[in-house]
C-alpha cells in the first residue's frame, strides 16, 4: 500500500541530551492551498532547533508536511500551526521555523516563528566555512 499523509509526528530520544546542538532541515516542497482561491501555495520550510529530550523522526515529518497539501491556510496561520505541533511533539530547547512562500500576486511572503524554552540560554555557534569534498583540512 502506498504511503499516505499523516498528522502524527513521531519522535526518538535525543542521542546527546547533555549537549546543545543544532538540527537544521530544509523542506523545499511544502504546499497548501490559498483559502480564498483554492490555488496552490508553494514554500520552502527551514527548521532550526536545539532538541531537549526528543528529536523529530524525519519520515513522520515528511508525512506530516504532506498532510497540508489539500488544506486551505493563510501563510501566517500554517507557519505557526506547524511550529506549535513540532514544539508539542518534541519540547525543544529552541525551535525556529521560517516559511518562504513563493511569489503569488507579485508578492513573496516570509513568515518566521520561534519557540524558546523557559530558562534556555542559547549559545551562539561559531560560523564554520564549508569545505569542498576532497579539500585539504588544516
- pLDDT tens readout for residues 9-20: 999 999 999 999
pTM of the model: 0.87
Catalytic residue among 20, 32, 41, 48: 41
Please give the pLDDT value at position 136: 65
Q: Which residue has the cell 511569489?
A: 103
Please give the pLDDT value at position 126: 72
Residue 109: pLDDT over 80: yes
Active site residue 34: yes
DSSP letters spanning 61-124: HHHHHHTTTT-B--HHHHHHHHHHHHHHHH--SEEEEEEEEEEETTEEEEEEEEEE-TT--PPP
Task: Choose among 23, 36, 2: nearest CA to 95.
Answer: 23
Q: How confident is the model over 60-73, as a mean pLDDT?
A: 96
Q: How confident is the model over 111-133, as a mean pLDDT?
A: 83
Catalytic residue among 20, 32, 34, 85: 34
Residue 1: pLDDT over 90: no
Please give the pLDDT value at position 122: 77
Helix (H, G, I), strand (E, B), or coil: what is residue 58? helix
Q: How confident is the model over 26-30, as a mean pLDDT?
A: 96
Q: Which residue has the higher pLDDT, 98 or 123?
A: 98
Q: How confident is the model over 28-46, as a mean pLDDT?
A: 95
What 8-state DSSP symbol labels residue 46?
A: E
Domains in the chain and their CATH numbers?
23-116 (3.30.1130.10)
Task: Choose among 27, 87, 97, 84: nearest CA to 59.
Answer: 27
Q: How confident is the model over 120-134, as a mean pLDDT?
A: 74
Residue 93: pLDDT over 90: yes
CA distance 49 to 114: 9
Amino acid at each position: 500500500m502506498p504511503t499516505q499523509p499523516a498528522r502524527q509526528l513521531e519522535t526518538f530520544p535525543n542521542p546527546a541530551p547533555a549537549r546543545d546542538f543544532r538540527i537544521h532541515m530544509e523542506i523545499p516542497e511544502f504546499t497548501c492551498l490559498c483559502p480564498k482561491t483554492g490555488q496552490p501555495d508553494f514554500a520552502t520550510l527551514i527548521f532550526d532547533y536545539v532538541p531537549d529530550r526528543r528529536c523529530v523522526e524525519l519520515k513522520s515529518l515528511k508525512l506530516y508536511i504532506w498532510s497540508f497539501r489539500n488544506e486551505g491556510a493563510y501563510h501566517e496561520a500554517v507557519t505557526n500551526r506547524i511550529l506549535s505541533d513540532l514544539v508539542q511533539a518534541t519540547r525543544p530547547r529552541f525551535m525556529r521555523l521560517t516559511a518562504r512562500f513563493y511569489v503569488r500576486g507579485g508578492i513573496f511572503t516570509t513568515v518566521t516563528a520561534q519557540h524558546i524554552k523557559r530558562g534556555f540560554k542559547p549559545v551562539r555557534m561559531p560560523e564554520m566555512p564549508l569545505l569542498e569534498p576532497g579539500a585539504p583540512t588544516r
